[in-house]
């Protein structure tokens, strides 16, 4: 997580490596992280958006909707 106004930089993970990671996590029984990463892979949602989802938001749905909330910035 970055501070407000802080410049950040990120890189990408190759698709095959990401798939390999999720398969290894699933094999090891780490289903929570498998689900989080897989949802992020296929939706492009940020982790904060994924963590706000509930089961009935995704189960047996053709579409998933996320409403982003604007964070307010307070200054002293």
Instruction: Read off the pLDDT band of 28 (50, 70, 90).
Output: very high
Domain residue limits at 22: 15-54
- The token pair at 52 is 């706000």
**Is residue 49, in this structure, part of any structural domain at all?**
yes
pLDDT in tens, 1-17: 667 778 888 788 899 99
Is 52 in contact with 38 (CB distance < 8 Å)? no
As for how many domains the chain has, the answer is 1
Is residue 21 predicted with pLDDT exceeding 90?
yes
Return the sign of the alpha-carbon dihedral for residues 57, 58, 62, 65: positive
pTM beyond cutoff 0.75: no
* Cα(52)–Cα(57) distance, integer angstroms: 10
The arithmetic mean of pLDDT across residues 26-52, rounded, is 90
**Is residue 71, in this structure, part of any structural domain at all?**
no
- The token pair at 7 is 């410049």
**Is residue 74, in this structure, part of any structural domain at all?**
no
């Amino acid at each position: 997580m970055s501070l407000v106004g802080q410049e950040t930089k990120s890189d990408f993970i190759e698709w095959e490596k990401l798939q390999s990671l999720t398969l290894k996590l699933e094999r090891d029984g780490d289903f929570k992280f498998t689900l989080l990463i897989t949802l992020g892979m296929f939706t492009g949602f940020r982790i904060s958006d994924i963590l706000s989802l509930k089961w009935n938001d995704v189960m047996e749905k053709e579409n998933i909707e996320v409403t982003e909330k604007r964070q307010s910035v307070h200054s002293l």
